[in-house]
Amino acid sequence: MSHRATVSAPANIAIVKYWGAKDAERVVPYNPSISMTLEVCRSTTTVEPVPADERADGDRVWVVADGARTPAPAAFAERVHAHLDVLRRRTGRSERFRVATSNSFPAAAGLASSASGFAALACAVVRALEIPAETAGDLSVLARLSGSGSAARSVLGGYVEWPGDPVGDCAARQLAPAGHWDLRDVIALVQSGDKEVSSLEGHRRAPTSPYFGRRLELLPGRLDGVRRAIEERDAQALGRLLEQDAIDLHVIAMTSEPPIFYWRPATLAVLEAVRALNRELRQAGAGAWWTMDAGANVHVLCTAEAEEAVAERLASMPGVHGVIRDRVGTGPRDEDADLLALPVAGEAARGDR
Ligand code: PMV
């Protein structure tokens, strides 16, 4: 049995980052990573297996914007085709698919959508083909084999660890559900468009940094600290470790061969503002801490009572062209929306599907 299925999956923000791939093909990281699953930033994907007589056309992929579909840009479509090939191999199926996908955040926001996008694709394919859990294998593994390691963590809600153990399939596991701790993530957008160096390339270059090995030595203690801070809901401890690991990622990026500079002048201005804000908030027992992935945008993790003040402060900054208010979320979910039913841009009048 197979049918059309729509799933949405969230982005996540790494507290301890995945940075450096031991085996890029199998997406095996050098280190375990821990993240918080988001709620607002998500990708929604509709997948439909095509009838056997139409399979010669192969997979077809659209991206959705402003209520219409357009054929996906070639580079993105290629990644989707490659991921679908992996999903077919892993599940022993041969169907070809029609796929339409959209993001809840603006495409030009400079936010990585690969984690949410490939998690949604893996979940939607498994749903559409009605593959039982024991045959599908771990969704985290299916998502990760897209090539986006962080997608491994987007199939679960709350606080998630991807162990990165090269033995076995190294599936992600939930450390605590979303209800355990209501943390917020206020995202300051300081960059639009794609970053100059992809995370894929960053993972490849990371081991060339003289600081790469040192971070690996420090990580067991940092990971323990983060697990404990989550368990005890200790925001001060979590914030300190979050910032340390973000600094490490960017030091490694800047000292890789050749170096990668993700920061923009506005990035630094936001970090200054968050530090000042944190000093003020601390007096009221609240707090805000920053982190960044492989890009210039700044994620400010904060306690619920601090969110309003953080969002207001960031929105008033000259280099910040947008603020997204997100929070810990519960993970992927089935959706009623049918993105394949939307008209193709420019062909709406003909009712082309
Ligand atoms: O999922 P990838 O392969 O795009 O790598 C993500 C890397 C970071 O976002 C920088 C860190 C992380 O763990 O999410």
Name residue 139's amino acid. Answer: L
Cα–Cα distances in Å, from 348 out to 50, 123, 351, 352? 21, 29, 5, 6
13, 19, 33: residue to mutate for ligand 1 pocket, most atoms within 8 A of CB = 19
Q: Ligand 1 centroid vs 341 CA: distance in angstroms? A: 32
DSSP assignment of 47-96 equals EEEPPGGGGGG--EEEEEETTEEEEPPHHHHHHHHHHHHHHHHHHT----
- The structural architecture, per CATH, of the domain 182-327 is 2-Layer Sandwich (3.30)
Same fold, 5-178 and 182-327: no
154 Cβ below 6 A of ligand 1: no
18 Cβ below 6 A of ligand 1: yes
For 172-189, how does the pLDDT look when each residue is reduced to its tens digit (9 = 90+)?
Answer: 999 999 999 999 999 999
Give the per-residue pLDDT at 13: 97
For 209-259, how does the pLDDT look when each residue is reduced to its tens digit (9 = 90+)?
Answer: 999 999 999 999 999 999 999 999 999 999 999 999 999 999 999 999 999
295 Cβ below 6 A of ligand 1: no
Give the per-residue pLDDT at 109: 65
The yes/no answer on whether domain 5-178 falls in CATH 3.30.230.10 is yes
Q: Ligand 1 centroid vs 199 CA: distance in angstroms? A: 6
For 17-51, how does the pLDDT look when each residue is reduced to its tens digit (9 = 90+)?
Answer: 999 999 988 899 999 999 999 999 999 999 999 97
- Which pTM was predicted? 0.95
Ligand 1, residue 17: give the atom nearest the CA.
13
The full set of domain ranges for the chain reads 5-178, 182-327
Ligand 1, residue 149: give the atom nearest the CA.
1
> What's the CA gap between 293 and 104, in Å, rounded?
19
33 Cβ below 6 A of ligand 1: yes
